[in-house]
Structure 1
């Protein structure tokens, strides 16, 4: 029996080749399991079956900065880029295989908000690159740590946890954060630390940071705020006056909020409150020496001791300097003597007086210049109601416009003075409590009305000073004793036809009867008409009456004739 051998045809070879290559092409772009069949200094030779072998650089088998641990016979997952030729030589990648595996796992971690492990291995613009077991992620510079870090080198090539913030598999983008992990860990630590703290407890901490409003103190993993007002009982303008970064200090927990994890600290609470028993220490009326610490528009603060400050109000700074800024009276750091005026312990307020420790110039003036004393001074100011005159001791006295002249109106009299004039006056009244000195200029010559011999019913000779439609303005008396008066039109004559002011001229001398003398209102009533009636009555009484048969003309003529004889 003969055996016939079949010789493969060209079609058979083509089919066999297609079968072999077709099966190989099914591996392209996929992750398969291979076996390490050889190792050299640079690469590992991996068999993926189907007579396909490939070389993979050793660095792809280890994390950045680490040495790969491989042995012949080990099985590994690799990514088949492509089978290059019919001989089965394959282009393999362990890195791509790890990346594919990593993406699947990372997506699960991202969905479950779980932490992932990674290694920072490079720098890029705006941040760093992180190897997440084969997948490369971006770590923004702001997400490296809670606080800015100058040197990130110690954190590189070390496996550590990260939080995935964002990922997009289509674009191959992953953004991670190390800061989120630290904040979460810190929050857990803070919660544990806060559980061990309580309000009122005294703890030790390190000054971590200093700001204008206080200092942050590290209490061993959790920070508390020491406000500037709680550092010391005395006034502090800036925390750096007392504290330095790195100082170890003892503080008391004033307030503790577990929900917000905010802690308020105090240093002064560990010292005795200087305001305790303050009233016994500084009784009202006592004089003390202090230092000016602050000057405001309304006064100056004086430090009596550490933690005790009192206010000298601007009104209590000087006896004579009114409406002046406190900075023009005292200066910061100046040592001054003050008197305690009032204490309010519950409000932590002490009212002090500066002027009370000086001689009161008003009291001194009252003692050396009693009422009636004549003084001389310069006019400092002129107001609508009088003159202010500078006196000894830097005090001012006021001459009211009504005390300028006995006869002139206030407006007329005040118009005769100007600022800077030196005038003489008489002290009329002194009110030390109200700090007022009343002066008078017209009182220097005495009241002409008070010294006048004029009486109601007496006859006077007047001088016409002005002619008006309503009557005559006249003066009675001479020089500084002259007094002003007014004769009404109806009082110019008994005869109505003669009651015409225009028949008189300025400078005329006229006789009139005093009809009224009111010293309070300083008014003198004069009447020519009443003088004529009075003279008529007197003539009738002396020379007869109309009943005797003589006419009124005869009687007046006889009276006048006798008057002429008497004049001779």
Structure 2
């Protein structure tokens, strides 16, 4: 390399050769080391192939693409769809001019001679390695929820991770929309690069983090405890109740003392309820609860309020070959055996009663343990003490000194005032042949004399 200085000028105001040399940079004649100019240019350009990862600086951001300077002879183009795993995004939301990013080479030169790059695929390649390492050590990934899809959520963890709806929380979530934009942590439960499949479980993460809390919660829970909770979900076989730390199951058989066709007929999601703890299974972390155990037992209430020999009013609910069932209280049905349906022999129960028919029956047995009540239509015709809940409806003058019902015909000018009174009057008339408004000699239903005449 040789330096050339300008010749000295003699004109006034022009610097001498020494002054010029001292103020200017040297002029380089040849520093190519034998290379041609084109070869020298090529030497300053980085070398790469399709599929390689490169780094560069963002020099321009348009609505459809981003230009990236990676030190190549021309700037690389990143199409908008190759910027992010998120769909329909504005490039300016992903990168800014001056950002240094990594990209994967899709085409070194397309039909138009452009270098085509992809930021999302570079991110994808990096993410797979990291995610595989996390899965290997049973770790946790963190990402932002970017989409709601059929069956769950898509989480940005460097690639698209699928989080099933059933694994978003400890219990199934119906509305997933509020999770959009939220950062969540999850465990990786399935990983298949060939199928581009990553399945996540936030529930597994929550369960792992809440294990100590659950153990402490279960330790403090005892069978027989009564707890308040909120109905969190309803299924065909029962309902789940959030006890403030864990969910317990109320089986359909423990929902009500009455027959339950479907749990939704008893409670709704969000209802606050009191439940009795039936069992705590520490190994399976399961809690069995009862709703009906915290409520009054209608069978016990009926047994406490009634006794054998009393008359009660009921409605025929079902006819069977061996008799009929009669509802005598809310949720309480008793059986009238075919032998107790009439004074005469009965071949077919439907010849004596009809579904929906209302009539008086006598209690002849109460088996609280087996929850069975035996009733008699035949013995009701003999009269007897009317259950307390009916006595007020018929008035004091219709009972003798022992509490036996003697009927409205004991009073000559009696006129039925209620449906129950009218039904009883009709029943007595049909059974004993009495005539409404009969004379003073008419026998009472409950009297010994009346009973004899009825036979």
Same-fold status (TM-score > 0.5): yes
Indicate yes or no: 2:199 matched with 1:173: no
Indicate whether 1:77 and 2:102 are aligned.
Answer: yes
1:295-444 map, 5 Å: 295-306=319-330, 309-324=333-348, 326-358=349-381
Q: How far apart, CA to CA, are the structure 1 residues paired with 2:258 and 2:344?
A: 32
Instruction: Give the conservation status (yes or no) of the 8 Å contact 2:167–2:204.
Output: no
Gapped regions of structure 1 (runs ≥ 5): 361-568
Residue 105 of structure 1, CA deviation: 0.7
Q: What's the C-alpha RMSD, in Å, of the aligned pairs? A: 5.0
> Using CA pairs below 8 Å that are at least 6 residues apart, which structure has the higher relative contact order?
2
Q: Is the 1:59–1:68 contact (alpha carbons within 8 Å) kept by the matching residues of 2?
A: no
What are the Cα deviations for residues 9-34 of structure 1, in whole angstroms up to 9, with x where unaligned?
Answer: 9994399469728x733566432444
Residues 391-428 of structure 1: CA deviation (Å, up to 9, x unaligned): xxxxxxxxxxxxxxxxxxxxxxxxxxxxxxxxxxxxxx
Equivalent pair of 2:214/2:245 in contact (CA under 8 Å): no
2:336 aligned counterpart, secondary structure: strand
Is 2:224 the partner of 1:200? yes
Shift of 1:316: 1.9
Does the CA-based 8 Å contact 1:214-1:226 persist in structure 2? yes
Moved more, 297-306 or 208-217: 208-217
Distance 1:185-1:318 versus aligned 2 partners, 3 A rule = farther
Q: Counterparts in 2 of 1:529-568, with a 5 A limit?
A: none
Whether the aligned pair in 1 keeps the contact of 2:313 and 2:358 (CA below 8 Å) is yes
The 1:125/1:255 distance shift into structure 2, 3 A limit, reads closer
Q: 1:340 to 1:213 in 2, by over 3 A?
A: farther
Question: Aligned to 1:24, what secondary structure does the other structure show?
Answer: coil
The number of aligned residues is 348
Counterpart mapping for 1:504-543 below 5 A? none
Of 258, 264, 268, 2:288 maps to: 264
Q: Could you give the per-residue CA deviations for residues 268-320 of structure 1, whole angstroms, max 9, x where no partner exists?
A: 43345455597775444344434444444433334444565433222222232
Aligned-residue offset at 1:196: 4.8
| Residues 54 and 92, structure 1, Cα contact 8 Å, conserved in 2 | yes
Contact 1:290 1:302 (8 Å CA) reproduced: yes
* Distance of 2:278 and 2:131 partners within structure 1: 46
Find the counterpart in structure 2 of residue 253 from structure 1.
277
The Cα shift of 1:181 comes to: 1.9
Consecutive unaligned residues in structure 2, runs of 5 or more = 4-27, 384-455
Change (3 A) 1:129 1:272: closer
Query: Hey, what does 2:397 align to over in structure 1?
Result: none
Residue 60 to residue 226, structure 1, CA distance change in 2 (3 Å): same
Q: CA separation of 1:96/1:329 partners in 2, compared to 1, >3 Å: closer, same or farther?
A: same
Render the CA deviation track for 1:498-542: whole Å, top value 9, x for unaligned.
Answer: xxxxxxxxxxxxxxxxxxxxxxxxxxxxxxxxxxxxxxxxxxxxx
TM-score (norm 2): 0.57
TM, length-normalised to structure 1:
0.47
Which residue of structure 1 aligns with residue 132 of structure 2? Answer: 107
> Cα gap change, 1:212/1:31 in structure 2, threshold over 3 Å: closer, same or farther?
closer
